[in-house]
Chains A and B, each alone.
Chain A
Amino acid sequence: ETGVTQSPTHLIKTRGQQVTLRCSSQSGHNTVSWYQQALGQGPQFIFQYYREEENGRGNFPPRFSGLQFPNYSSELNVNALELDDSALYLCASSSKDVGEKLFFGSGTQLSVL
């Protein structure tokens, strides 16, 4: 158990809809990173939040957006869903104060029909 929890665990949406995924980070961690993992591939970095500010972004369009709250929990929002957005979405928490080890949640499996 990493102490990182994600909700929901599974989600089915249709093209064009919007989705919000949630992540509670491990106690004491101030950084949250989001990843998209398609079947059979490694996780792809979406973005990272550090103390409520976006701290870096991968090669994802603006319809992927996020938030980090004062308690360091986080949301990933995806607008105008496309079929290719179907994937496992992973949240990882870490603390820049104690190195860059990432602690992952179990993910949200998103299916876009």
Chain B
Amino acid sequence: LAKTTQPISMDSYEGQEVNITCSHNNIATNDYITWYQQFPSQGPRFIIQGYKTKVTNEVASLFIPADRKSSTLSLPRVSLSDTAVYYCLVIGGFKTIFGAGTRLFVKA
């Protein structure tokens, strides 16, 4: 199972773009990269998933280089409500492993 490494915490200001990078050096061919967001006392919420290159949806973009050993979650123009823990996961089977995540704190 591919292990992921991401920063423990990040600070930002409202309106800024936030990029959170995750490394997954041992990613397997069939693995997908998925990001979740979690607020206190709630379950994680799916943000975005990708296999390679770039994926964009209404809330975020996911950039994956050709070697797929890392990925970057990009949150455009964050607001105070984006303060949460963000998890990077590599999914290739039944066992979805969460790391400690990145605590993003958005300041006014």
Using a CB–CB cutoff of 8 Å, the interface residues on chain A facing chain B are 2, 4, 33, 35, 41-45, 48, 50, 55-56, 58, 88, 90-92, 99-107, 109
Contact = CB atoms under 8 A, between A and B. Distances in A.
Nearest to A4: B43
A33 B42 CA distance: 16
Dominant SS at the B interface? loop
Interface stretch (B62-70, B76-84, B98-106): B98-106
For the residues of A in contact with B, the DSSP-based class is strand
B96 A45 contact: yes
Interface of B: 32, 34, 36, 41-46, 49, 85, 87, 91, 93-101
A45 B95 contact: yes
Given A2-B43, A42-B87, A90-B43, A101 B95 contact: no
A28 B101 CA distance: 29
